């Protein structure tokens, strides 16, 4: 199995110039904990998670680019699930944007990985 088999396709995303409030609203509306942050041209520039929103609430931040993680790790759709799981485990993160030809084509989360583990 590869990342393409279980990733969330066309995931919700947000622009880096958005407010933290807008990111929080998108997460609630789309029921996700992770949002890839995109440049104007659609390329990946970061990731924001519900953990980062908690950090923002605890601190004094307004704009998303103050709290998002800028050196975001990503995978390609043809990566194996084992390789993706290794990255999640090694870096203590729970989601990876899936990138193809410079654009975000999906999201792989530890939630998806645990669903697949349960089915097998
Ligand atoms: N272990 C918990 C988890 O997996 O969500 C939270 C703790 S950790 C501090 C989460 C941090 O990792 C957040 O600041 C988040 O922005 C960052 N992060 C999440 N996914 C990432 C990814 N694919 N690449 C780089 N950083 C990521």
Phi/psi-derived region of residue 52, left when phi > 0, alpha when psi is between -120 and 50, beta in every other case: alpha
Predicted TM-score of the model (pTM): 0.90
pLDDT, position 120: 64
Q: Where are the domains of the chain?
A: 3-119
CATH 3.10.580.10 fits 3-119, yes or no: yes
pLDDT digits (tens), the chain, 120 positions: 899 999 999 999 999 999 999 999 999 999 999 999 999 999 999 999 999 999 999 998 999 999 999 999 999 999 999 999 999 999 999 999 999 999 999 999 999 999 887 776
**CA-closest residue to ligand 1 atom 8:** 93
94 within ligand 1 shell (Cβ under 6 A): yes
Q: Can you list the alpha helix ranges (DSSP code H) found in 1-120? A: 3-6, 20-30, 50-58, 81-91, 110-119
Do the Cβ atoms of 67 and 46 come closer than 8 Å? no
Q: What distance in angstroms lies between residue 110's CA and the mean position of ligand 1's atoms?
A: 12
ipTM of this predicted structure: 0.86
Nearest to 95 by CA among 6, 21, 29: 6
Ligand 1 probe mutation, 35, 85, 93, most atoms within 8 A of CB: 93
Q: Is 88 in the pocket of ligand 1 (CB under 6 A)?
A: no
Instruction: Kindly give the distance from the C-alpha atom of residue 114 to the centroid of ligand 1, in angstroms, as a whole number.
Output: 18
Quote the CA–CA distance of 100 and 61 in Å, as a whole number: 32
């Amino acid at each position: 199995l590869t990342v393409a088999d279980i990733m969330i396709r066309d995931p919700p995303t947000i622009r880096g110039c958005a407010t933290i409030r807008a990111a929080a609203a998108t997460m609630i509306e789309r029921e996700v904990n992770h949002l890839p942050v995109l440049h104007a041209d659609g390329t990946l520039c970061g990731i924001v998670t519900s953990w980062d929103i908690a950090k923002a609430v605890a601190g004094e931040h307004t704009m998303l680019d103050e709290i998002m993680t800028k050196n975001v790790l990503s995978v390609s759709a043809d990566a194996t699930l084992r390789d993706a799981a290794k990255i999640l485990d090694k870096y203590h993160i729970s989601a990876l944007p899936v990138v193809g030809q410079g654009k975000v084509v999906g999201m792989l989360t530890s939630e998806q990985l645990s669903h697949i583990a349960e089915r097998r």
